[in-house]
Chain A
Amino acid sequence: MRYCISALITILLIFNVSAIYGQETADLENQVAKYEKEGNLLELARCQAKLGYLYKEKNNIQKSIEFFQKAVKSNESLGNMNAVKNLCVNIGLMYTELDNYDQALTFFKRSLKLSEKQGKKPDVLADLINIAQVQQNLKNYTESNQTLERALTIAQELTDMTSLRNCYAIESENYDKLGNQGKAKEYFDMAASIKSHLQKEELKKFESRTKVAEGEVSAKEVELKSKDSKIQKMTKEQQLTLQLLDQQKMYNILQEKEFQAKERLQAARQRNTFLIILSLIIILALVTISSVFILKQLREKKKAYTLLKESNQQIIEQKSEIEKQRDIVTKQKTKITDSILYAQRIQSAVLPPLKKIEKVLPEHFVLFRPRDIVSGDFYWMTEKEGIVIIAAADCTGHGVPGAFMSMLGVAFLNDIVNRMTFNMHVRSLNANEILNQLREKVIVSLHQSGKLDENKDGMDIALCVIDFEHKQMQFAGAHNPMYIIRKGELLQVAADGMPIGVYRTSDTPFTNNEITLEKDDLIYLFSDGFYDQLGGEKGYKIFSANFRKKLLEIHQNPLPEQKRLLEEYYDNWKGKYEQVDDILVIGFKFIPQVITSAPVQTDFLWENKCILIAEDVDNNYFLLAEALKPTKVKLFRAINGKDAVEFCKNNKIDIILMDIYMPIMNGLEATRQIREFNKGIPIIAQTASSKSDDIVNCKEAGCSDYISKPINLKTFLSTIQKHLII
Chain B
Amino acid sequence: MRRLIIKNVESCPTVILDKESGKFEIFGNSLPEDVHTFYTPVFDWIRDYIKQPNAKTELVIKLMYFNSASTKAIIDILTILEELVINGHDVKILWNYFEIDEDMLSTGKELASILNIPFDFIPFTDGWVRLAEER
Contact = CB atoms under 8 A, between A and B. Distances in A.
Contact of B68 (A460, A534, A538): A460
A497 B110 contact: yes
Contacts of B98: 540
B102 A545 contact: yes
Nearest to B40: A453
B67 A581 contact: yes
Contact of B102 (A503, A528, A543): A543
Contacts of A504: 75, 114-115
Q: Is the interface of B mostly helix, strand, loop or mixed?
A: helix
Interface in A376-404: 394, 396-398
A634 to B, nearest CB: 51
Given A541-B65, A580-B65, A452 B80 contact: yes
A452 B79 contact: yes
A396 B68 contact: yes
Contacts of A543: 100-103
Interface centre among B43, B106, B115, B126 (most CB of A within 10 A): B106
B65 A534 contact: yes
A232 interface: no
A489 B94 CA distance: 35
A397 B115 contact: no
A3 to B, nearest CB: 104
Most buried by B among A504, A505, A528, A580: A504
Given A497-B110, A543-B102, A543-B103, A456 B72 contact: yes
Could you tell me the dominant secondary structure of chain A's interface residues?
loop
A372 to B, nearest CB: 10
A233 B49 CA distance: 132
Contacts of A453: 43, 76
28 contacts: A396-B68, A397-B68, A398-B67, A452-B79, A456-B72, A456-B76, A457-B69, A497-B106, A497-B109, A497-B113, A498-B110, A498-B114, A499-B68, A503-B114, A504-B115, A531-B103, A532-B65, A534-B29, A534-B64, A534-B65, A538-B126, A538-B128, A539-B64, A540-B98, A544-B103, A545-B100, A581-B31, A581-B67
Interface string A542-564: 01110000000000000000000
A497 B126 CA distance: 27
Contacts of B68: 394, 396-397, 460, 499
A162 to B, nearest CB: 98
Contact of A396 (B69, B76, B100, B113): B69
B129 interface: yes
Interface string B50-72: 00000000000000110111001
Contacts of B67: 397-398, 580-581
A163 to B, nearest CB: 102
Nearest to A533: B65
Interface in A458-517: 460, 497-499, 503-505
Interface of A: 394, 396-398, 452-453, 456-457, 460, 497-499, 503-505, 528, 531-532, 534, 538-541, 543-545, 580-581
B20 to A, nearest CB: 26
A545 B104 CA distance: 12
Contacts of A581: 31, 67
Given A498-B114, A580-B65, 7 more contacts: A398-B67, A460-B68, A531-B103, A538-B126, A541-B103, A544-B102, A545-B100
Interface in B27-58: 29, 31, 43
B64 to A, nearest CB: 7
B103 A528 contact: yes
Contacts of A452: 43, 76, 79-80
Give the one of A398, A528, A540 with max B CB within 10 A. Answer: A540
B114 A541 contact: no
A419 B127 CA distance: 53
Interface string B110-135: 10011100000000001011000000
Contacts of B100: 543, 545
A499 B76 CA distance: 15
Contacts of A580: 31, 65, 67
A665 B80 CA distance: 59
A498 B71 CA distance: 11
B114 A505 contact: yes
Nearest to B113: A497
B134 to A, nearest CB: 15
A453 B76 CA distance: 7
A396 B71 CA distance: 10
Contacts of A503: 114
A453 B73 CA distance: 8
A396 B129 contact: no
A657 B40 CA distance: 61
Contact of A541 (B72, B75, B101): B101
A456 B79 CA distance: 14
Nearest to B69: A396
A532 B68 CA distance: 11
A457 B115 CA distance: 19
Given A456-B72, A544-B102, A538 B129 contact: yes
Of the listed residues A394, A396, A499, A528, the one surrounded by the most CB atoms of chain B closer than 10 A to its CB is: A396
A534 B129 CA distance: 12
Contacts of B80: 452
A395 to B, nearest CB: 8
Contacts of A397: 67-69
Contacts of B79: 452
Nearest to A505: B114
A686 to B, nearest CB: 42
Contacts of B126: 538
Contacts of A534: 29, 64-65
Contacts of A394: 68
A247 to B, nearest CB: 108
A251 B129 CA distance: 110
A581 B114 CA distance: 26
Nearest to B110: A497
Contact of B103 (A398, A456, A499, A532): A532
A541 B67 CA distance: 12
A505 B67 CA distance: 20
Contacts of B109: 497
A541 B102 contact: no
Most buried by B among A394, A452, A505, A534: A452
